[in-house]
């Protein structure tokens, strides 16, 4: 009997010590997404988590929670919940984290990227460059591990009242914006009447006519939510962009083996390519479509502006001269926000963009 017990203990010890590190992994991890599953952002998060599950042979099983489910609808509390471990992962907009991390307002500086020759190239240069490193360092310092970029998209204005091609046209319009202060400043500078509203309540607000308009990306949000059901006018003004950041709670990140961390980073990189492509298709120089064809994942519609016109929307595309009028009208907003974001970061972004030309 004693012998049997000893053998059993030896056997058990052997089993326990030979168990790989993933024995301590959770059976499921939670990833937060603010908009719905049908958004480009939702699809990007699903793409990322599917890849991770597949490449780790199911060791890391991440479930996407869409529509701000984990946030009780309050999107600007996401960063704090991820930091304190209530959430394990998030694919998050810089906009929703910017109340806690001021440098993330960089890409929300009105018309800063819209004024560049190639706004996508400029964005890629800054996110892959020194500015991107500084933004990631700021996130890490505040207690979340950033592991990759993705993209919601350049944000375009829609409204139910009239075509907007100049600041005079937007004057007096009630526009729903996210609860991040730079938006209030930008829309006030244009003479509009900005109203804070969580995305979770926004479509009901559009339906009830509580606001006249809103701003969100064409491919990523406006088409998936069928914005033409509420608004007949869209202005492609590219005034800001919200890149997305995939982030992990640092304790969760440390619990993964080095090998699994490497796999997750690789999946985040591929999700970035996919996410950028679905956000840009039909709106860039054709690179996005070429990439989606190469991975056999071309979405419909692939020509978003034609599609929106077919749904009855009046599409106004600003000329560089018209963009410049908006740029000048928001000079005070950039002046106020550059010191809050950090002069160093803004200069680093300008240098990254200049070096990419």
Site of interaction with ligand X2X (CB under 6 A): 34-35, 75, 93, 95-96, 152, 178, 199, 216, 221, 242
In the complex, what is the shortest distance from the CB of residue 153 to ligand X2X, in angstroms, rounded to a whole number?
Answer: 9
In the complex, what is the shortest distance from the CB of residue 59 to ligand X2X, in angstroms, rounded to a whole number?
Answer: 30
**Which residue's CB is nearer to ligand X2X, number 96 or number 316?**
96
Strands (E), 26-113: 29-32, 62-65, 89-93
The span from the CA of 195 to the CA of 192, in Å, is: 10
The span from the CA of 302 to the CA of 282, in Å, is: 6
**Which residue's CB is nearer to ligand X2X, number 164 or number 263?**
164
In the complex, what is the shortest distance from the CB of residue 134 to ligand X2X, in angstroms, rounded to a whole number?
Answer: 21
**Which residue's CB is nearer to ligand X2X, number 148 or number 243?**
243
Sign of CA dihedral 226, 270, 261, 19: positive
Of the candidates 318, 156, 145, the residue with the CA atom closest to the CA atom of residue 246: 145
The SS3 assignment for 86 reads: coil
**Which residue's CB is nearer to ligand X2X, number 108 or number 147?**
108
In the complex, what is the shortest distance from the CB of residue 201 to ligand X2X, in angstroms, rounded to a whole number?
Answer: 10
Contact (Cβ atoms closer than 8 angstroms) between residue 297 and residue 82: no
In the complex, what is the shortest distance from the CB of residue 19 to ligand X2X, in angstroms, rounded to a whole number?
Answer: 40
Q: What is the DSSP letter of 110?
A: T
**Which residue's CB is nearer to ligand X2X, number 175 or number 348?**
175
Alpha helix locations (H) across 145-286? 167-170, 181-189, 199-207, 250-255, 258-280
**Which residue's CB is nearer to ligand X2X, number 56 or number 218?**
218
Q: Tell me phi and psi for residue 190, to 5 degrees.
A: -90, 0
Of the candidates 286, 282, 284, the residue with the CA atom closest to the CA atom of residue 302: 282
In 3-state terms, the chain is what percent helix, strand and coil (to 5)? 55, 15, 30
Q: Tell me phi and psi for residue 216, to 5 degrees.
A: -160, 160
**Which residue's CB is nearer to ligand X2X, number 56 or number 279?**
279
**Which residue's CB is nearer to ligand X2X, number 95 or number 227?**
95
In the complex, what is the shortest distance from the CB of residue 139 to ligand X2X, in angstroms, rounded to a whole number?
Answer: 16
**Which residue's CB is nearer to ligand X2X, number 150 or number 353?**
150
The span from the CA of 164 to the CA of 186, in Å, is: 16
Of the candidates 49, 298, 258, 251, the residue with the CA atom closest to the CA atom of residue 150: 49
Residue nearest to ligand X2X (CB): 199
In the complex, what is the shortest distance from the CB of residue 156 to ligand X2X, in angstroms, rounded to a whole number?
Answer: 11
CB atoms within 10 A of CB 315: 17
And the tokens for 12?
């058990």
In the complex, what is the shortest distance from the CB of residue 331 to ligand X2X, in angstroms, rounded to a whole number?
Answer: 24
**Which residue's CB is nearer to ligand X2X, number 67 or number 323?**
67
Residue 50 parent element (H or E): helix 40-55
In the complex, what is the shortest distance from the CB of residue 194 to ligand X2X, in angstroms, rounded to a whole number?
Answer: 12
In the complex, what is the shortest distance from the CB of residue 216 to ligand X2X, in angstroms, rounded to a whole number?
Answer: 5
Cis peptide before 270 (omega within 30 of 0): no
């Amino acid at each position: 009997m004693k012998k049997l017990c000893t053998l059993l203990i030896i056997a058990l010890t052997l089993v326990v010590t030979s168990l790989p590190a993933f024995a301590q992994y959770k059976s499921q991890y939670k990833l937060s997404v603010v908009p719905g599953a049908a958004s480009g952002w939702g699809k990007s998060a699903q793409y990322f988590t599917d890849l991770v599950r597949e490449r780790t042979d199911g060791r890391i099983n991440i479930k996407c929670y869409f529509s701000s489910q984990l946030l009780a609808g309050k999107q600007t509390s996401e960063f704090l919940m991820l930091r304190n471990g209530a959430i394990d992962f998030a694919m998050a907009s810089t906009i929703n984290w910017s109340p806690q991390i001021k440098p993330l307002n960089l890409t929300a500086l009105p018309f800063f990227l819209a004024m560049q020759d190639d706004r996508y190239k400029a964005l890629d240069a800054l996110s892959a460059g020194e500015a991107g490193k500084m933004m990631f360092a700021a996130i890490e310092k505040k207690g979340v591990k950033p592991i990759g970029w993705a993209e919601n998209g350049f944000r375009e204005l829609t409204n139910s009242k009239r075509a907007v091609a100049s600041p005079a046209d937007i004057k007096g319009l009630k526009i729903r914006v996210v609860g991040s202060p730079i938006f209030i400043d930008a829309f006030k500078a244009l003479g509009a009447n900005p109203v804070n509203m969580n995305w979770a309540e926004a479509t009901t607000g559009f339906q009830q006519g509580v606001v006249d308009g809103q701003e969100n990306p064409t491919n990523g949000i406006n088409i998936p939510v069928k914005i033409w059901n509420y608004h007949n006018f869209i202005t492609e003004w590219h005034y800001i962009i919200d890149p997305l950041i995939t982030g992990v709670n640092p304790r969760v990140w440390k619990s993964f083996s080095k090998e699994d961390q490497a796999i997750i980073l690789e999946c985040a990189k591929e999700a970035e390519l996919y996410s950028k492509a679905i956000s840009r298709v039909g709106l860039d120089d054709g690179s996005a479509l070429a990439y989606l064809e190469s991975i056999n994942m071309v979405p419909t519609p692939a020509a978003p502006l034609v599609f929106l016109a077919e749904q009855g929307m009046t599409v106004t595309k600003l000329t560089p001269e018209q963009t410049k009028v908006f740029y000048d009208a928001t000079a005070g907003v950039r002046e106020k926000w550059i010191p809050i974001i950090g002069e160093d970061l803004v200069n680093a972004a300008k240098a990254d963009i200049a070096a990419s030309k």
